[in-house]
Amino acid sequence: MKKLSNIKNLLPSVILIVVLFMFWEMGARMVNMTFILPSPSEILLKLWEIKSLLLIEHLPATLSIIAIGLFISIGLGVGLAVWMISSRIVERALYPILISSQTIPIIALAPIFVLWFGYSIWSKVVVTVLIAFFPIAVNTFDGLCSTREDLKELMLTMGASNKDIFMKVSIPSALPYFYSGLKVAVTMSVIGAAIGEWLGAQAGLGYFSRRMMTQFDGAGVFAPIVILSLIGIVLFLLVVLLERRSLNWRKTK
């Protein structure tokens, strides 16, 4: 029953997408300059043509950047949030820096990372982490701040230790916020990996897309982007699934 209504809810956006793609297809055929504006059908054909190259050579490179980047981002983001909640001074010292770190255009900094880390995977991982850790850190921190004071006091009257309060009150309170941050972070991590690859790589979907640009192969530019966006969607859905499983008490609301 619930699944059925979910599909129904998706219908309007599916229709919109189909209509937009139809316009695109018609427009592209009218312009008829494949190297600038390839039509969706041409992109799909291209994708099919080079599928093994993309999936076997370039996808694993990008996926490993995303995986390592996300792993570090979660550790760094959660770590910073916990550190800031544990001490007022740390919060005052770090929070403004955290916010201003996001005003730095990471794309402009990326060449520096290539200088530092060369063409190894780490120059790309750093870009990914710099983009993806932020939503996790800020959301988790807000979540930890949202812990109810009266609940903590009640725990104290039961003789709870600080560790008890952190484990049994703060973490469960922060978990929904953490997942919100993670949802943003996984989509950002795909962007981060692609940017990192543009600037210096020997393999990867972002690298391939950029190489096709220099060859004026419009469909070749778009084909890896389709896969990149699919990665983002799959990661997002995975987080939603994880969230539903671990927060099943929220369903009953």
Give the binding site for other proteins (CB under 8 A): 148, 150-151, 153-160, 164, 168-169, 172, 175, 247, 249-250, 252-253
Nearer to other proteins, 156 or 233 (CB): 156
Nearer to other proteins, 152 or 210 (CB): 152
Smallest separation, CB 150 to other proteins (Å): 6
Do residues 179 and 247 touch, judged by C-beta distance below 8 A? yes
Do residues 232 and 131 touch, judged by C-beta distance below 8 A? no
Nearer to other proteins, 166 or 222 (CB): 166
Smallest separation, CB 139 to other proteins (Å): 17
The DSSP result for the chain, as a single string, is -HHHHHHHHHHHHHHHHHHHHHHHHHHHHHH--TTTS--HHHHHHHHHHTHHIIIIIIHHHHHHHHHHHHHHHHHHHHHHHHHHHH-HHHHHHHHHHHHHHTTS-HHHHHHHHHHHHTTSHHHHHHHHHHHHHHHHHHHHHHHHHTS-HHHHHHHHHTT--HHHHIIIIIHHHHHHHHHHHHHHHHHHHHHHHHHHHHHS-SSSHHHHHHHHHHTT-HHHHHHHHHHHHHHHHHHHHHHHHHHHHHTGGGTT-
Residue 240 C-beta-side C-alpha neighbours within 13 Å = 7
Smallest separation, CB 155 to other proteins (Å): 7
Nearer to other proteins, 40 or 176 (CB): 176
Nearer to other proteins, 49 or 153 (CB): 153
Smallest separation, CB 241 to other proteins (Å): 18
**Residue 249 to residue 167: CA distance in whole angstroms:** 18
Smallest separation, CB 171 to other proteins (Å): 10
Nearer to other proteins, 53 or 167 (CB): 167
Smallest separation, CB 250 to other proteins (Å): 8
Nearer to other proteins, 90 or 169 (CB): 169
Smallest separation, CB 178 to other proteins (Å): 13
